[in-house]
Amino acid sequence: MDIEQAKKRVEELVPLLNYYTQMYFDDKQVVSDYEYDMLMRELKGIEAEFPELIRKDSPTQKVGASIKKGFEKVTHEVPLQSLQDVFTFQEVRDFDERMRNLAEENNIELKYVVETKIDGLSAALEYKNGILVRGATRGNGLVGEDVTDNLRTIKTIPKKLTEPIDITVRGEVFIGKEEFEKLNSDRLMDEEEQFANARNAAAGSLRQLDSKITAKRPLDIYIFNVQKSDSIEFKSHYESLEYLAKLGFNVNPVRILCNNIDEAIKAIEKIGKDREKLSFGIDGAVVKVDDLELREKAGTTYKTPKWAVAYKYPPEKKETKLKDIVCQVGRTGAITPMAILEPVVVAGSKISRTTLHNEDFIRQKDIRVGDTVVIQKAGDVIPEVVEVKKKKRTGEEKIFEMPEVCPVCGAQVVREEGEAAYYCNGIECPAKLYRGIIHFASREAMDIMGLGEMIIEELINRKLISNIADIYKLTVEDLASLKKNGKKFAQNLFAAIEESKTRDLYRLINALGIRHVGVKMAKTLAKKYGTMDSLMNATYESLYLSEEVGKIIAQSVYDFFREEQTIDLINKLKECGLNMTAQQEEGADSRFEGMTFVLTGTLEKYTRDQATKIIEKFGGKTSGTVSKKTTYVLAGEAAGSKLKKAQDLGIKIISEEEFGKMIK
């Protein structure tokens, strides 16, 4: 992988992992732990090879989660760090080699304690004179949330210790397997949404602003570390755990003292073998140096201790029968095939359906309706089909074909060249309505001030809108009904909706949500065709021959305006009085007409977005890559490979100062 490929991959991984991390800490885990771990490992590998690509917003540079509004902040005297994950026994032995060298240098006996890595939410408990005075979540490791009242509802947390000492301990709040099943069963009876897994249920319960809700949840806790103690000193970690049990704490029951790394690996294997018998969920086993003096010598990074590693078990696998494949339409219009399975328990969860991702995935694995398949789930949220047992086929199995029309609205289904997913092309598809209206009303589209996500959801729930055009049929009375004493709100929103009818054509084109068409492309199309009718009647050849419109975009625009739902919506919007003509800018300055700029490095006076808007204002355009068609490369501080490529091609390179003179 060269640096350009690495940079592109980092740009994909960082926002994706940040999203997964935020969802995880918001108790809405959307990807399996194993997949997350693999993506994180890939990012760390790239950053190790290309340190210059490490970004400030990289998840490798962060610890923990944000603080939930409504809780007081608590600064941890001793940081609640995360652990370094390892996935092979060779990595465990590599860790041991580092610790053995350090132990020999300092003439300290090396032993390990192996414990279960409980799948829950970390918390710190602070005691003064033996009395519980405060409890906090881990948060970002340095600052957590004060959840003392919620922690007091957990029966296994002692309010008073057997000795009057000052001590701060760390534990993992969780919900046991049987308790989780009962909790979800009760919620089903009450017609409440099911929790995805025990970890999310525990985290969401502990972070409730109302402790009465927390008290109704079957939370438990296992203590696994002394964070701080002014009253007593320990020589070993195992000794401290034994003492914590005497004080009345519910200490992690799986704690195995090992004389060497071979014993530690055997302990890891035993935990893995017995994990189904445990009453609580785990997502690994932790290997810790026992001697506390050796821990001090080993030290820590800002994020993880160097004296411990967390071994992650390979995903658990189970066989079951694939009874059917059905298609699910997402809010973006993506059509996802879903496997309907004979229910099977994997890693403590009953699995009856799972995603098959896309047609390519099904073809690659040759998955057929009626197959015996292997399901994988490593204590995670999303199970997956990893193998088909073809030797168990009877001949009755059926090959699956993706639908030609949307199963929800009947619109044309499209799969573009180079893409794996199929999409519904219907702009009025009910499955896409919510996300479509959010985009339609957004700032860069029709810019309808006040029409936010919650209002849109309420309008749909009350059946006041069933398509985009219905926005313009809403009355002040309709809008006022959404809020108590909502007359002023309704008048303002109604005025904003009316005002949006006069928006320029490019905004409406962008608002329609045509695949691959953003603001820049919408402006190009509006400028070229002038009216909505002209654009709708444009041939594929006319679109494709435009310099800025490539083959994929041309096909996407052409197909979109051939769809009956699109034609129907445009006619409705015309009836509602929306502007369908591009506005002409009087005396427009087109000094950059026909020029292409590439921006590289860090600019002092402008953000990339600001510089791009200035260039477009003067009739120019920007590109992310340097080519022979590039007119100028605007280079800021720490310009990278684009600068070198421009030099090699003889492209004119301008400084920020020169750019400033050009736009005066």
Residue 475 reports pLDDT greater than 90: yes
> Residue 223 pairs with which residues in a beta bridge?
171, 251
| pLDDT of amino acid 379 | 46
Measure the CA angle with vertex 313, ends 308 and 319; round to 5°: 170
**Domain locations along the chain:** 3-61, 81-311, 316-399, 414-584, 596-662
| pLDDT of amino acid 128 | 94
CA distance 352 to 357: 16
> pTM of the predicted model, to two decimals?
0.51
For residue 637 the two structure tokens come to 């501080």
Q: Which H or E run includes 398?
A: strand 398-399
> Residue 174 pairs with which residues in a beta bridge?
220
Minimum mean pLDDT range among 153-162, 558-567, 654-663 = 654-663
- Of 222, 280, 227, nearest to 255 by C-alpha is 222
> How many residues does this entry show for the chain?
664
Considering Cα of 45, then 49, then 50, then 51, what sign does the dihedral take?
Answer: positive
CA atoms within 13 A on the CB side of 26: 9
* Mean per-residue pLDDT, 31-46: 77
Residue type, 451: L
Considering Cα of 317, then 320, then 326, then 328, what sign does the dihedral take?
Answer: negative
Measure the CA angle with vertex 98, ends 96 and 100; round to 5°: 65
The contacts of residue 147 (CB under 8 Å, 6+ apart) are 71, 123, 135, 136, 137, 206, 207
Q: What is the CA radius of gyration of the chain?
A: 30
Confirm if 351 and 341 have CB atoms less than 8 A apart: yes
Residue 547 reports pLDDT greater than 70: no
Residues classed as catalytic: 117
Torsion-angle region of 118 (φ positive above 0: left; ψ -120 to 50: alpha; else: beta): beta
Residue type, 654: I
DSSP type of residue 77: S
Residue 326 reports pLDDT greater than 90: yes
Quote the percentage of the chain above a pLDDT of 90. Answer: 56
Q: Label residue 349 exposed, middle or buried (CB < 10 Å: 0-12, 13-18, 19+).
A: buried
- Of 221, 260, 267, nearest to 244 by C-alpha is 221
CA distance 454 to 580: 29
CA distance 369 to 186: 33
- Of 335, 359, 551, 315, nearest to 423 by C-alpha is 335
Q: Label residue 456 exposed, middle or buried (CB < 10 Å: 0-12, 13-18, 19+).
A: buried
Ranked by mean pLDDT, the top range of 18-22, 247-251, 453-457 is 247-251
Residue 281 reports pLDDT greater than 90: no
Residue 269 reports pLDDT greater than 60: yes
Tens digits of per-residue pLDDT, 209-252? 888 889 989 999 999 999 999 888 899 999 999 999 999 999 99
Instruction: Identify the residue whose tokens are 């199963």.
Output: 407
* Mean per-residue pLDDT, 28-35: 63
DSSP string covering 10-55: HHHHHHHHHHHHHHHHTT---S-HHHHHHHHHHHHHHHHH-GGG--
* Mean per-residue pLDDT, 23-49: 72
Minimum mean pLDDT range among 116-130, 166-180, 464-478, 572-586 = 572-586
Tens digits of per-residue pLDDT, 352-388? 888 898 899 999 999 999 999 999 865 445 678 989 9
User: What is the CB neighbour count within 10 angstroms for residue 13?
Assistant: 20
| pLDDT of amino acid 511 | 96
At residue 81, the 3 state secondary structure works out as coil
CA distance 620 to 596: 6
Question: Domain 316-399 sits in which CATH superfamily?
Answer: Nucleic acid-binding proteins (2.40.50.140)
Separation of CA 615 from chain center: 33
CA dihedral 211, 217, 222, 227 (to 10 degrees): -20
Is the CATH code 3.30.2130.10 the one for domain 596-662?
Answer: no
Of the candidate CATH numbers 3.40.1500.10, 1.10.150.20, 3.30.450.60, 2.60.40.1120, the domain formed by 414-584 belongs to 1.10.150.20
Question: Domain 81-311 sits in which CATH superfamily?
Answer: DNA ligase/mRNA capping enzyme (3.30.470.30)
CA distance 590 to 594: 9
CA distance 449 to 492: 8
For residue 401 the two structure tokens come to 């074909």
Average pLDDT over all residues of the chain: 88
| pLDDT of amino acid 24 | 62
| pLDDT of amino acid 417 | 74
Minimum mean pLDDT range among 222-226, 283-287, 304-308, 604-608 = 604-608
Minimum mean pLDDT range among 216-220, 307-311, 579-583, 584-588 = 584-588
Q: Which fold has domain 3-61?
A: Helix Hairpins (1.10.287)
* Mean per-residue pLDDT, 332-341: 89
At residue 551, the 3 state secondary structure works out as helix
